[in-house]
Structure 1
Amino acid sequence: MNDSPLSAAVERFLRYLGVERQLSPITLLNYRRQLDAIMTLAGESGVASWQQCDAAVIRSWAVRSRRKGLGPASLALRLSALRSFFDWLVSQGELSANPAKAVSAPKAPRHLPKNIDVDDVNRLLDIDLNDPLAVRDRAMLEVMYGAGLRLSELVNLDLRHLSLESGEVWVMGKGSKERRLPIGRSAVQWVEHWLDLRGLFGAEDDALFLSKLGKRISTRNVQKRFAEWGIKQGLNSHVNPHKLRHSFATHMLESSGDLRGVQELLGHANLSTTQIYTHLDFQHLASVYDAAHPRAKRGK
């Protein structure tokens, strides 16, 4: 196949990507792998030149790739490489149109977010408080779980964004949209504990949560500390800020059933983003149904 019209065009395309586009060696290798696989499919289907390709041929390649065990994400990558290659052939005047543009990969299954159950959240928050940094971490965990904040929203909290009297915080979310959120009685108590100790780490920075060096705590530091507490408290699942936000949303929806209220609390611009939590809630209800309903008990 090295001297075939198919491979000759591919080699010219790869030279173009390396010399003119200056893509990295790893990217070039990925293109080569995908296009080599496509040339194998072309050979198996009797295609001898790229001009013979139409949407039907490419769809048949996609079907054969799936039958060979290629997953949706990998198939999307293969079709993307093919579209780029055909775009280049069109630019070279070797094709009149790109036949791969009409072919799309099947959608990859949507991975539902994992959450921490309520008992594990309670165990996570039951932190030994002999260390001022542990008090800070407890306050951060309480605020994040209490208000369902994004990690960026948590680290960007300033003292002025806090109203302990009303139990609220103001956060600037995506799209510079401000939200005013309740954080709950427990979070208020632990923030008060932290504020009593915050002066030990300096008072020059306006940030609510400081590192041990007296600067605004970084997102990486928060991620590291949360993961460490998950291990120390014996949780089976990895603890990270995003998982706490998911847990907040899931627990709120399970208790209230108020999808629009949860949308407002999370700061989602579109309800469709929040609706993923209805799938989580349905999974919970489905498992309860399967365990309890007489007609769901198979073979009995």
Structure 2
Amino acid sequence: MRAELGRSPHTVRAYLADLRGLRDHLRREGRALADLDLGVLRGWLGAQHAAGASRATLARRIASARVFTSYLHRTGRLESDPGLLLVGPRRHRTLPAVLDEAQAAEVCAAAGGDGESPLALRRRAVVELLYGTGIRVAELCGLDLGDVDRERATVRVLGKGDKERVVPVGRPALDAVDRWLADGRPRWAVPASGDALFLGARGGRLGVRTARRDVHESTGAVARTGPHGLRHSAATHLLNGGADLRSVQEILGHAALASTQIYTHVSVERLTRVYRQAHPRA
């Protein structure tokens, strides 16, 4: 998954956890790996469903099983690939919760509080950059110093599948990053920090869990949200402001336009405005 498919460490961990569950199921049933067939897979998923697993969880476990059985078949451990016949439940596409534009402005203004400590400066920069670019929290944690281009007002991001893209960024986010670089990062930097843009208190690269905590603790007093809520909000506000769907797809780094189309459902204001302007009987 890492070398051939370019999956993220988070995805690899999740799939391995699923496959350990499948291994345990085989052991409980007294079956060997060579016995893995469609019936065994369905029994495993049926047990997960009975235990209360959600549609999204079942869909991911089916994906894990398919990758695994394909590998087993390709390497000669299984005569056929039972994962090809595995059909799972359709995932419900839920509308993301988003901040309105006034809330987003208030969240950014409140991020980090009034402090000038490295922690406060980092939190302010993290919140501003996540909302200002719409990038994923893992992408933010992977940024290096050279990835921020102040002259062009862009950020170079390494996204899912190791796909690189360039994302525009606004002046407030760049200013927050500059303050972190001038007054925050040098106080935490150590020889092992390398080129990491954001650092933890011990000088290592900022971790995803810590970045999430930065967002939650910076925004809780205004509107409880996390990094993905800022990403949803950025996408929705872009569409409300008149951005086309393809441009938003590029900014977010979605491989398929269908992933971006969910934001058209939360951009009711923009759709209503376009309808009133364009339809002769509006």
- TM bin (shorter chain): 0.5 to 0.7
Tell me if structure 2 keeps the 8 A contact 1:129–1:135. Answer: no
2:222 aligns to what? 234
Question: Which residue matches 2:144?
Answer: 158
- Matches for 1:141-180 after TM superposition, within 5 Å: 141-180=127-166
Cα displacement (A) at 1:177: 1.4
CA distance in 2, matches of 1:129, 1:73: 43
Q: Residues 238-257 of structure 1: matches in 2 within 5 Å?
A: 238-257=224-243
- 1:187 maps to which of 158, 173, 180: 173
The answer to whether the aligner puts 1:215 opposite 2:231 as a matched pair is no
1:126 corresponds to = 109
TM-score w.r.t. length of structure 2: 0.65
AA partner of residue 116 (structure 2): D
Deviation at 1:203, TM superposition (A): 4.5
Counterpart secondary structure, 2:251: helix
Shift in Å, 1:117:
1.4
> What is the TM-score of this pair, normalised by structure 1?
0.61
What is the distance in 2 between the residues matched to 1:215 and 1:71?
36
Assess, with a 3 A threshold, how the Cα gap between structure 1 residues 200 and 175 changes in structure 2: closer, same or farther.
Answer: same
What displacement does 1:144 show?
1.0
Aligned to 1:202: 189
What's the CA shift for 1:139?
A: 0.7
Residue 112, structure 1, aligned to residue 101, structure 2: no
Structure 1: give runs of 5+ residues left out of the alignment: 1-13, 35-69, 81-100, 290-300
The residue identity in structure 2 corresponding to 1:18 is: E
Distance 1:29 1:108 in 2: 15
Q: What CA RMSD, in Å, does the superposition of the two structures yield over aligned residues?
A: 3.8
Q: Secondary structure at the match of 1:149?
A: coil
In structure 2, how many angstroms separate the alpha carbons of the residues matched to 1:211 and 1:162?
19
Shift of 1:226: 0.9
CA distance in 2, matches of 1:72, 1:208: 37
* Structure 1 pair 282–106 and aligned structure 2 pair: CA distance change class (3 A): farther
Whether the aligned pair in 2 keeps the contact of 1:173 and 1:267 (CA below 8 Å) is yes
Change (3 A) 1:240 1:256: same
User: Is the Cα–Cα contact under 8 Å of residues 72 and 108 in structure 1 kept in the other structure?
Assistant: no
* Alpha-carbon distance, 1:166 to partner: 2.1
1:259 offset after TM fit, Å? 0.5
Q: Which runs of 5+ in 2 are unaligned?
A: 1-24, 34-42, 63-84, 276-282
Range 105-114 or range 178-187, more displaced: 105-114
C-alpha contact (below 8 Å) 2:198/2:205 kept by paired residues: yes
Distance 1:131 1:111, change over 3 A: same
Letter in 2 for 1:228: E
Aligned to 1:48: none
Q: Identity rate of aligned residues, in percent?
A: 36
Q: Is the 8 A contact 1:155 1:216 kept in 2?
A: yes
Please give the residue correspondences for 1:1-300 in structure 2 after superposition, counting only pairs within 5 Å.
Answer: 17-20=28-31, 31=47, 73=55, 107-127=90-110, 128-132=113-117, 133-197=119-183, 198-204=185-191, 205=193, 206-231=195-220, 233-235=221-223, 238-282=224-268, 285=271
2:172 and 2:48 mapped to 1: Cα distance?
Answer: 56
Greater RCO, 1 or 2 (C-alpha within 8 Å, sep 6+): 2
Contact 1:72 1:107 in 2 (8 A): no
